[in-house]
């Protein structure tokens, strides 16, 4: 019995600890190696690049701070090479990390498809081992959204910039790969043989990396979004089942928890933000302004909610007190009068209550005047009766005197 209780208690502690840890991570956290290669930043870099060779060089530049992958665990950044596979008007552009002499791992894949009218659609798909299934980034297309899919809503207050497939066709790199004289780019670098300008550096902790990219979020989420499905219909047929390259060691390291060390320094996030403020001061100011506006909006919403709750409490209290007053002072009123009074304010109730004594005083005065009028009438009737009785007595006395005088004459 004690053993069962102890096991249950430990399970509760582990669950509580996991919940607390989850609450300390932002929404962007995946808990997978892909956390150290921000695909929003990769898409932005692709849009700004002019050639695939230049894109590969910038992607592996330490100063760009985009590539933070160390999949082979040697405590140095892995070189990511770019390989383009062409099938008609579809370009499948693979980003592949070189892990050792015999192993490589696909990190993410661009699918670029041009249609007959010249428009182009593009998606960036993270490999499911590093990002989970269907981790897809794409531009925010100006299209009617699918009512069955809302998408992932970002909490930051950003200005959304929508684009079209025609505008995507004008990206410099898109124009480059669809030139008639384009020579398909396939990086020639491999393990131990790297370009002369590249020197590996030690990876940053994830919170440092996240802190640096955090102030790019208004740009990332204003132009790009997560999507739920592949737009390229031959994704599985052409790439996933034929071209995809995976390194078993990566899956082994994930299961062994070897990549968890990158999350062990949450305090380093502030250092990453400081670095961003130094290298991109203007973007830092804009991002800080957006963050300030978001926090003020949240505070105002919270305050208005509190005011509405307080107002609702006050109204309900007023209604209860009004009803109580009506029940106490409205004994002589009808049901309809009580119902009407319950919708009025307490001031109207008090006015009506104060008008009742005046009505009573008027009624009492009228009753008093009626009583005095009745008394005057009864006194007048009594005086007239007395006068008629006196007159009758006088007539009888006169008759008797006349009789006595006649008898004397005789």
Q: Rounded distance, CA 156 to CA 342, Å?
A: 46
Q: Are 226 and 168 in contact (CB under 8 A)?
A: no
pLDDT at 98 exceeding the cut of 80: yes
Q: Where are the domains of the chain?
A: 17-279, 280-354
pLDDT at 81 exceeding the cut of 90: yes
Rounded to 5 degrees, what are φ and ψ at 69?
-85, 135
Confidence of residue 143 (pLDDT cuts 50, 70, 90): confident
The predicted pLDDT at position 61 comes to: 97
Rounded to 5 degrees, what are φ and ψ at 397?
-65, -40
Cα 60 from chain centre: 36
- Convert 303-331 to b/e letters by CB count within 10 Å (16 or more is b): eeeeeeeeeeeeeeeeeeebbebbeebbe
Q: Are 349 and 325 in contact (CB under 8 A)?
A: yes
pTM of the entire predicted model: 0.67
DSSP 204: P
The predicted pLDDT at position 320 comes to: 45
Both tokens of 107, joined, read 């990190």
Q: pLDDT tens, 204-246?
A: 999 999 999 999 999 999 999 999 999 999 999 999 999 999 9
Confidence of residue 329 (pLDDT cuts 50, 70, 90): very low
The predicted pLDDT at position 287 comes to: 76
pLDDT at 248 exceeding the cut of 80: yes
pLDDT at 355 exceeding the cut of 90: no
In sequence order, which ranges of 257-345 are alpha helices (DSSP H)? 269-279, 281-329, 335-342
The lowest-confidence range among 29-33, 156-160, 232-236, 312-316 is 312-316
95 compared with 404, residue with greater pLDDT: 95
Mean pLDDT of 246-255: 96
DSSP letters for 72-140: S-SSSPPPEEEEEEEETTEEEEEEEEE-SSS-EEEEEEEEEEE-TTS-EEEEEEE-HHHH-TT-EEEE-
Q: pLDDT tens, 167-179?
A: 999 999 999 999 9
Q: Rounded distance, CA 222 to CA 154, Å?
A: 10
Q: Rounded distance, CA 392 to CA 370, Å?
A: 33
């Amino acid at each position: 019995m004690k053993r069962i209780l102890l096991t249950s208690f430990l399970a509760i502690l582990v669950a509580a600890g996991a919940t607390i840890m989850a609450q300390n991570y932002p929404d962007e956290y995946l808990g997978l190696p892909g956390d150290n290669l921000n695909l929003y930043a990769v898409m932005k870099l692709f849009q700004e690049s002019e050639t695939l060779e230049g894109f590969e060089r910038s992607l592996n530049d330490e100063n760009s701070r985009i590539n933070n992958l160390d999949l082979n665990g040697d405590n140095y950044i892995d070189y990511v090479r770019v390989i383009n596979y062409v099938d008609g008007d579809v370009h499948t552009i693979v980003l592949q990390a070189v892990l050792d002499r015999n192993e490589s791992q696909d990190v993410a894949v661009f699918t670029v498809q041009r249609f007959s009218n010249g428009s182009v659609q593009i998606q960036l798909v993270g490999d499911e081992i590093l990002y989970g299934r269907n981790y897809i980034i794409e531009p925010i297309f100006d299209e009617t959204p699918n009512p069955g899919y809302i998408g992932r809503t970002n909490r930051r207050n950003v200005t959304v910039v929508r684009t079209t497939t025609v505008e995507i066709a004008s990206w410099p790199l898109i124009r480059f790969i669809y030139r008639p004289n384009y020579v398909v780019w396939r990086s020639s670098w491999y393990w131990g043989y790297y370009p002369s300008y590249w020197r590996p550096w030690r990876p940053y902790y994830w919170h440092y990396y996240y802190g640096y990219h955090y102030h790019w979020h208004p740009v990332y989420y204003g132009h790009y979004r997560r999507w739920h499905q592949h737009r390229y219909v031959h994704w599985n047929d052409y790439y996933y089942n034929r071209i995809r390259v995976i390194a078993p060691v990566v899956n082994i390291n994930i299961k062994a928890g070897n990549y968890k060390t990158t999350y062990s320094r949450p305090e380093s996030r502030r250092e990453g933000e400081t670095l961003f403020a130094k290298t991109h001061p203007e973007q830092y100011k804009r991002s800080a302004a957006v963050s300030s506006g978001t926090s003020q909006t949240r505070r105002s919403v919270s305050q208005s909610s509190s005011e509405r709750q307080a107002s609702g409490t006050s109204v309900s209290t007023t209604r209860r007190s009004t009803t109580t007053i009506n029940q106490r002072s409205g004994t002589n009123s009808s049901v309809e009068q009580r119902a009407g009074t319950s919708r009025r304010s307490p001031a109207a109730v008090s006015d009506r209550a104060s008008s009742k004594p005046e009505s009573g005083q008027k009624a009492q005065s009228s009753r008093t005047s009626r009583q005095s009028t009745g008394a005057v009438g009864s006194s007048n009737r009594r005086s007239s009766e007395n006068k008629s009785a006196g007159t009758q007595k006088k007539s009888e006395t006169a008759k008797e005197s006349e009789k006595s005088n006649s008898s004397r004459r005789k």
